[in-house]
Amino acid sequence: MILSLQGLNITPPFFQNSSIIFHQLYADCPDVLSSSSFNLRIILFENIIVFEVDTSMAKHTKVMRYRIIKPKEDSWDVFGKVLRELQRETRTALNKTIQLCWEWQGFSAEYKEQHGVAPKKKDVLGYTNLQGYAYNRIKDEFNTIGSGNLAQTVKRAADKWNSDVKEILRGDRSIPSFKKDVPIDVVASNVRSIRKEGKDYYLRLSLISKECAKEMGRKDGIFEVLIDVRDKTQRVILDRLIEKEYKLGASQILYHKRKWFINLNYQFEKQEEPLDPNRIMGIDMGIVHPLYIAISDSPARYHIEGGEIERFRRQVERRRKQLLKQGKYCGDGRRGHGRQTRIQPIEVLSEKIANFRKTTNHKYARHVIDLALRHKCGTIQLEDLKGIAKDDAFLKNWTYHDLQEKITYKANEAGIQVIKVQPKYTSQRCSECGHISSENRPSQSEFRCRVCGYEALADYNAARNLATKDIEQIIENSTAKK
């Protein structure tokens, strides 16, 4: 579908206000721009901007990581110093943006208490969103980072604030704080080129401001780097970016295990059948089965066995206890170099745990989204896990919250809506007749309805309930009658 919008009486050059323009466009037509993807074409007629939004093609966004082997013309001493300073400025910009967002939230709450209505950002700040305001406030405080990359960094912090603010105000989440190892943002236009020389691939990255480049005696802020291409998949992605089959998105440079990497964000389009928002995937999370999945209008069921997680957890706990005991009796080689050396094996183990958790949760989340797309589910309903860690030691050790975040992130990429449902009674309710009773659960793994006699695995029954539209309201109405 093609949608044409007229609005925003802005004189050229209007790209300086692109965030404001897009904010207004979103306000005018949120349903279209909240879809999984769209193509936006901007046409300028004198001082009137016409937007054409094409939602007929699905845009897929993915990320591939490449290790930076070396800068082509600079030494690692020079390039490493630049990257470390960019990382420091990125962290400062992120935290200052969050601080400005928090200050606005406090002012807004106080203003509403005094006047009965919330203040309008445009009237108070001169901007329609916090992103534009924060960028204008802090842009002159940074010498090294380029303006485009700084704008992307501010956007990252503002987006994080907007996604978390409701939970922050409820006390369910802390105010975001960014640490020293934050990735460095590289806006798409600052990946100036990708070129192939024999079997080698080079990226030209615009990283530093003109002022910083001048101070360093450089003609510009561009650094060309050789990257490590390990396999055919990585090579094909770069070739398609060079040939313009894929489009570059905002990327990031990060430091990990004493090496620098770049996460290249790329996009490609393909025709997709529309997802059905009324076809709901329900996901129950538990110990025996980390995930049990049901589809609202289908008998299909899927699950992931919990043995992999439990085996790894027991193995890690056993090894951790061994290392703690060994630390008491370690030799002079470890004891003589202080506490940090003695606990190093435990820190290595902690990193293995983090890597296993990350890899496993990514794998599970990808599996969930693949199933949802295969069944054309436009909605995924999950249990709201707030407070669950206090009640269940296993779920506290295994980060189900992290798994939910990864499912939510990947679902948003695919255009699938995610709804969190209060889990109360979803395990006691019969998914066939709706009867709710604790007696429906004769054991942890079994479900047997005391009214209609329906029998099933308890996890599957709960997943069927979670796959029911408006299940929270249905349960609330049922319990209110008792």
Residue 144 is predicted with a pLDDT of 96
Q: Which of 130, 165, 445, 127 is nearest to 292 (CA)?
A: 445
Residue 75 CB partners (closer than 8 Å, separation 6+) = none
Residue 2 is predicted with a pLDDT of 34
Annotated catalytic residue within 74, 220, 273, 459: 459
Q: Which of 414, 384, 380 is nearest to 280 (CA)?
A: 380
pTM over 0.85: no
Q: Are strands 200-206 and 48-54 parallel, antiparallel or unpaired?
A: unpaired
Inter-residue contact 150 to 209 (CB < 8 Å) = no
SS3 316: helix
Say if residue 14's pLDDT is above 80: no
Mean pLDDT of 9-17: 38
User: In this structure, what DSSP letter does residue 37 have?
Assistant: -
Inter-residue contact 74 to 196 (CB < 8 Å) = no
Residue 328 is predicted with a pLDDT of 54
Residue owning tokens 């009674």: 425
CA 427 to mean position of chain CA atoms: 29
Q: What is the pLDDT of residues 305-317, one digit of tens each?
A: 766 666 776 777 7
Residue owning tokens 């693949």: 370
* 284 catalytic residue (yes or no): yes
480 pLDDT band (50/70/90 cuts)? confident
Mean pLDDT of 205-218: 95
CA distances from 46 to 6, 8, 11, 397 (A): 13, 12, 8, 60
Residue 304 is predicted with a pLDDT of 86
Residue 350 is predicted with a pLDDT of 62
CA distances from 368 to 128, 156, 276, 320 (A): 37, 26, 16, 32
CA distance 367 to 283: 12
361 pLDDT band (50/70/90 cuts)? confident
What letters, b where the CB count within 10 A reaches 16 and e where it falls short, cover 212-226?
bbeeeebeebbbebb
CA distance 179 to 199: 37
Residue 479 is predicted with a pLDDT of 86
Residue owning tokens 């043995």: 307
In this predicted model, which residue has the larger pLDDT, 305 or 451?
Answer: 451
Residue 274 is predicted with a pLDDT of 86
Residue 141 is predicted with a pLDDT of 95
Q: Are strands 184-186 and 200-206 parallel, antiparallel or unpaired?
A: unpaired
In this predicted model, which residue has the larger pLDDT, 272 or 111?
Answer: 111
Annotated catalytic residue within 185, 197, 273, 383: 383
Least confident of 89-93, 120-124, 154-158: 120-124
Residue 424 is predicted with a pLDDT of 86
Mean pLDDT of 29-53: 42
What percent of the chain has pLDDT above 90? Answer: 57
Mean pLDDT of 433-448: 92
Mean pLDDT of 1-27: 38
Least confident of 103-112, 269-278, 426-435: 269-278
Q: What is the pLDDT of residues 367-397, one digit of tens each?
A: 999 999 999 999 999 988 775 543 444 444 5
In this predicted model, which residue has the larger pLDDT, 248 or 400?
Answer: 248
Residue 313 is predicted with a pLDDT of 66
Residue 325 is predicted with a pLDDT of 65
Residue owning tokens 């206090």: 390
Q: List the structure tokens of 312.
A: 């790894």
CA distances from 55 to 369, 376, 385 (A): 21, 17, 34
Mean pLDDT of 424-435: 93
Least confident of 67-71, 92-96, 185-189, 312-316: 312-316
Phi then psi for residue 74, to 5 deg, are -110, 160
CA distance 384 to 401: 9
Q: What is the pLDDT of residues 252-273, one digit of tens each?
A: 999 998 999 999 999 887 656 7
* 383 catalytic residue (yes or no): yes
Q: What is the pLDDT of residues 284-298, one digit of tens each?
A: 987 778 899 999 999
Task: For the chain, give the mean pLDDT.
Answer: 81
SS3 422: coil
Residue 27 is predicted with a pLDDT of 40
Residue 19 is predicted with a pLDDT of 39
Residue 268 is predicted with a pLDDT of 84
CA distance 331 to 216: 48
CA distances from 396 to 195, 305, 386, 420, 457 (A): 47, 18, 11, 19, 24
Specify burial of residue 114 (Cβ count, 10 A radius: 0-12, 13-18, 19+). exposed
108 pLDDT band (50/70/90 cuts)? very high
Residue 271 is predicted with a pLDDT of 56
Least confident of 78-82, 341-345, 454-458: 341-345
**Count of CB atoms situated within 10 Å of the CB of 153:** 31
Q: What is the pLDDT of residues 128-144, one digit of tens each?
A: 889 999 999 999 999 99
In this predicted model, which residue has the larger pLDDT, 213 or 310?
Answer: 213
| Torsion of Cα atoms, 63 then 64 then 68 then 69, to 10° | 180
User: In this structure, what DSSP letter does residue 72 have?
Assistant: S
* DSSP assignment string, 78-95: HHHHHHHHHHHHHHHHHH
Q: List the structure tokens of 140.
A: 């002159």
402 pLDDT band (50/70/90 cuts)? confident
Say if residue 7's pLDDT is above 60: no
